[in-house]
Structure 1
């Protein structure tokens, strides 16, 4: 009997964001000002009181494009200057360089980073703190000593176990499966991996994990890995993508191999890149939160930090909803599953 061990109390208003990713960004460095027309009605741009630097793991993939859209929207609505700057590949060295340059060249109140490595960023984040810059993390955490608090999207145990469930439901709880992760050093991905594997061992003994392949959040690399998985494991029954580039790449490879319906694809991705694959059977279930809401929340809590206001449990964030706070971790909300039946209801 199929086991649904974790059900989600989905709050749809958190996820129907109505955002469109549009074309991929081509600029590494973006600065957004809050525009306030003067009394004379001119269009002069005025700097706001607080400046927040948002550092994603990587730019120019749909997930972080949507985060950027939410961050820009928050900057305009909340009167915050937002600098959105990230590396072109998911690399901690590039993030360190970017943060260093921001410390030296910009007047920053808060740096908010999605860390490619939980340890390697610590020295540069401490440098920022020594320059009286507040530091928080979002999406992927660092060691606690490097930041004030972490903005998590969902509870990691609930998410990891649920991802394993979604695959098991679609393969009859039997057979070989693979996991496509992002960067091996990403703390959030590793936490989800831990719970995926734990759940499989506890509840799905007839399923076998054959490999975990790191894509480094590179779409082309992910596609090549998916092709290789299908070729190297002829008995493969499913693929879990636990970073956003994995499911689209896996679904495309499955479709091209003529394995739609024979190899199940599940995992984490925005719905727009998966719309076609869900409808044609190349993927079965995709899970995510709203990355646009995550970007908005990150800027909102960053502005609060700049004013000396720390997040607290059940705090109501306009435009986001109530957040949870436990120790030094904020949890934004709960995820939602996208299938062929509901994918058209969402646009991000």
Structure 2
């Protein structure tokens, strides 16, 4: 009987011990799971914080007339650099051709993305009016850059140079290159509806009319569709139709290159002068042999940078001031209307200095 009692005690003790072990195991596992859950919650919170910070970054969209040509490639470099320096997301996007309808579609897509600011260089100011109104209705800041849109629709207008000064300066450089104040010239442009090109040409014509009355413009301005090959062919046609042609004023960055190419091919460097708005790196081969006399422009990388910097200011509720120093650009001019910003005076690129630049 005593042995039976002792056996029951031993069995009961084993049962109780097993129960304790089971509870400890269960408790230990529960603690690990709780710790794991807490860690997961913390990770989730960190992830949400990072996502929130990303969502808080300003989105600045820059829309050129078209992508893929050297001038707007250089502007893109400057815009992207500004995004890195200033901590904003930059979307540089545009049509592959200088097509107004395609550009409108690009802006429509940006509105649907709910960006903070859109800066556009319109191919046709009238075509973008409805879509820019739509952007403003969606509380998106609207700017133009490189080429003006309707002034009533934009919060800021970013101009590379003073239009009047630039156009007159190109006309003066052409007369200087010709070495005479009389003779026949022609004017090439990118597109007939590009407002900035029209402004420069109007200023150039005023300069010629007022100060060089013996210079004859042989035809209306000739469009080249922002393509070097078209400018080349149009210049060949001009050289054939007007054998006494003394000069070509080519406005839009591909146009001077095409005109110079035609002059170079015909060996007319000493007879026909070419001046126009072109990049120094593209111009250098033509400047070297005199088929292009002077390329007149500004720094397009700085223009892209300035556009993004001003877009950020707008999105943060600020406006630029006259004489303000913009890091990476320099001192800007703000006209009396308070929203037209001029970056810098025009710059001449010649055989002597073109190699000093990397755009």
TM-score bracket relative to the smaller structure? 0.7 to 0.9
Runs of 4+ residues deviating >3 angstroms: 45-48
User: Number of aligned pairs?
Assistant: 304
- For the 8 Å contact 2:114–2:140, the answer to whether it is kept is no
Give the 5 Å matches for 1:255-334: 255-326=264-335, 327=337, 328-334=339-345
Q: Aligned equivalents of 1:63 and 1:318: distance in 2?
A: 22
Which residue of the partner structure matches residue 12 of structure 1?
Answer: none
Whether contact under 8 Å (1:271, 1:338) holds in the other structure is yes
Does 2:204 align with 1:193? Answer: no
The answer to whether the 8 Å contact 1:52/1:108 transfers is yes
Query: Which one of 79, 84, 97 corresponds to residue 92 of structure 2?
Result: 84
Equivalent pair of 1:47/1:81 in contact (CA under 8 Å): no
2:54 and 2:316 map into 1 onto residues whose CA distance is 19
Q: Report the alpha carbon displacement of residue 237 of structure 1 after superposing the two structures with TM.
A: 0.7
Alignment partner, residue 153 of structure 2: 146
Larger radius of gyration: 2
Structure 2 residue 129 is the aligned partner of structure 1 residue 122: yes
Checking the alignment, whether the CA contact within 8 Å between 1:48 and 1:79 is kept in structure 2 is no
Structure 1 residues 66-94: Cα deviation after superposition (integer angstroms, max 9, x where no partner): 00000011111111111111111111111
**Native 8 Å contact 2:122 2:128 kept in 1:** yes
- Quote the offset at 1:218 in angstroms: 2.0
Q: Please name the residue that 2:81 is paired with.
A: 73
Asked if residue 136 in structure 1 is aligned to residue 146 in structure 2, the reply is: no
Q: Distance in 1 between matches of 2:288 and 2:89?
A: 40
Deviation digits for residues 129-150 of structure 1 (CA, Å, limit 9, x no counterpart): 1111000000101111221121
Higher normalized helix content (fraction of residues): 2
Q: CA offsets per residue over residues 159-213 of structure 1, 9 Å max, x none?
A: 1111110010111112111111111111111111111111111111111111210
- Partner Cα separation in structure 2 for residue 88 and residue 48 of structure 1: 31
Q: Which runs of 5 or more structure 1 residues have no equivalent in the other structure?
A: 1-37, 39-44
Q: Secondary structure at the match of 1:124?
A: helix
- Measured in 2, the distance between the counterparts of 1:266 and 1:73 equals 31
SS of equivalent residue, structure 1 residue 140: coil
8 Å Cα contact 1:109/1:134 also seen in 2? yes
Structure with higher RCO (Cα < 8 A, 6+ apart)? 1
Secondary structure of 1:58's aligned partner: coil
Q: In structure 2, the residue corresponding to 1:154 is in which secondary structure?
A: coil
- What secondary structure does 2:334 align onto? strand
The one of 155, 160, 170 aligned to 1:163: 170
Given that 1:48 and 1:81 are in contact with CA atoms closer than 8 Å, whether structure 2 keeps it comes out as no
**C-alpha contact 1:122 1:145 (8 A) present in aligned 2:** no
Partner residue in 2 for 1:9: none
**TM-score with structure 2 length normalisation?**
0.82
TM-score by length of 1: 0.85
Unpaired runs of 5+ residues, structure 2, are 1-45, 47-52
CA contact (8 A) 2:190 2:251 kept: yes
Determine if the alignment matches structure 1 residue 112 to structure 2 residue 123. no
Question: Is the contact between residue 160 and residue 303 of structure 2 (CA under 8 Å) also seen in structure 1?
Answer: yes
How far did residue 47 of structure 1 move?
Answer: 5.8
Q: CA RMSD in A?
A: 1.4
